[in-house]
Each structure stands twice: as C-alpha cells, then as structure tokens.
Structure 1
C-alpha cells in the first residue's frame, strides 16, 4: 500500500523538431482508500463490534444499483440508561467505504434508520451501532447487483 506522500515518477517523451526530448515528471501517487475493515474500526475507535442485536435489511439481489433501499434496526429499549448513540453503514466496493452515520438518542423512541443508496457492484455491506455503554454491534449482508452504479472513469 502506498502512502499519500509517496511520489510516482513518469517519463514523457515529446518530439522537439528533429530531436526527442525526455521529460521526467514527479506526480503524487494515488492514495489507497481505506478498506471496509479499516473504515469500521475507524468508526469504533479500534474496538471489534460484536455480531447480533442489529438487523441489516437490504435485498439480496438488486437489478439496478442506482437506488437500493436499506433499513438498519437495532434492538434497544431506548431509555436514558440504555440506548443507541450512532448507527453507521459501510460498503466494500463503492468509491467511498463510509455510506452514512446517524446520531440518535433515547428520545428517538426506536433505533431505526431507512434510506436509499447507490451500489457500484456486488459487494458486502456492514451496519454498526454504537450503544450508550460504549459497546458496538454489527450485522452484514451480501448484495448481488446486476446493473452497477457509482462507476468511476
């Protein structure tokens, strides 16, 4: 993995009259985007989330990746003493691994988030919830996309 400060040397040759001119250019190397695991651990502060207590509802087969419904629900009494603080969604293969983070609290009444997202291709999604006791829960789902979205150049 290259660091953001590393440089890439490229040599361009250009015709100049009857001769050939070689020019060396230094360009910053393209930074590697963080992977799914790194993005999740960034959200949790390095703590491993435990499986269970959270539901990630997304269709397992999606015809069009441009608008995919997703719902995340966390089992919680949502009281002052025991509630969900944040819910986040991460993906494996879109251009950016972090999709959304929603901050909620006990007055929300229930820990549930529904939205639509774009999926670049078939991939795994991970939902993570931060609880008021400082623990984290997670759930994952595999999604097959037949018509991709988010395709970069």
Structure 2
C-alpha cells in the first residue's frame, strides 16, 4: 500500500472510507451497506429489546418531536411515515412499529447540522402504534401515533 493511499484511508470518514473501498473494487456495495446495519436492533421483537439494542433505555416524551402518517392506511404494504424533530443536535431517528414481526422499521443517522426531518414508507401487518425514537444532545425521546390498517402488508 502506498503512503498517499494510506493517508486517504486514515483521514476519510466511515461513509467516505466505504465509498472509497467500493470505488477501488476492494469491497462490494452490499458489504459497505451491511457494515452500518444494526442487526440486533432490526431483529428485536419487543419494545424493551429494541430500545436496549438502540441504547435508548427509557426515552422521555417530547413535544418537539412530531410523527406524521395517515390515521387510516388503506394498504399496509406502503404506509407513509415521517418524523420531524425540533430538538437541537438531533443525531438519530428511528421508526418502530409495535405489532410488526420486527419492531424497528427504519433508522437514520443524521450528520451534524442536518435538518431533522425524515420520511419513508413502511410495511405494517395490522393496526398498530408507530413510534418515533429521536436521539438529541445525548438523550432519547419518543412519541407515538396509532395507524389503522385496513389491508395488511406483512403477509396479509
């Protein structure tokens, strides 16, 4: 390995490092994506287990975190859910679905200075509470919203 390449690897961030390794053909895209995957959190079946895997402990309620989604989802296979945080230094947002086979549906790590507003589509097997977990300033906060599903998306 030459000195210049070594310096680039040392100075790169984790994302930049993986991007560089993919571009150089040293690892595949799937390996780079899997490196950031939190397997225990995504395999959690219960709320306490998911919170423990995410390092959240007992999150507090916050009026500065908003979760959006339909009151009634006609198709559980594609339910739009959004989370917005007005908390300073928001660094992490997760979406958890209480009655899904795996509670953690999505997680987002936000770089410093990023607007804390994410949205995605999730799959819901049945009517359930959807939770937004936010880490800001080293503390965790959680809010929830019930979404009623008329046609199941997780095998229904």
Q: TM-score range by the shorter chain?
A: 0.5 to 0.7
Long gaps (5+) in structure 1: 1-31, 77-81
> Which structure dedicates a bigger proportion of its chain to helix?
2
Structure 2 residue aligned with 1:147: 151
Contact 1:63/1:145 (8 A) holds in 2: yes
Question: Aligned with 1:147: secondary structure?
Answer: coil
Whether the aligned pair in 1 keeps the contact of 2:45 and 2:101 (CA below 8 Å) is no
User: Is 1:100 paired with 2:90?
Assistant: no
Gaps of 5+ in 2: 1-42
Which residues of 2 match residues 5-84 of structure 1 at below 5 A?
A: 34-43=45-54, 45-52=55-62, 53-76=64-87, 82-84=88-90
Q: Please, what is the CA RMSD of the aligned residues?
A: 1.8
**Whole-Å separation in 1 of the counterparts to 2:57 and 2:51:** 9
Question: Which of the pair has more CA radius of gyration?
Answer: 1
Alpha-carbon shift at residue 105 of structure 1 (Å): 2.3
Q: How many residues align?
A: 113
Runs of 4+ in 1 over 6 A off after TM superposition: none
The whole-number CA distance in structure 2 between the counterparts of 1:36 and 1:144 is: 19
Residue deviations 1:103-123 (CA, integer Å, cap 9, x gap): 002231x10111111111101
Q: TM-score, normalised by structure 1?
A: 0.68
Other-structure match for 1:136: 140
Distance 2:68 2:58 in 1: 22
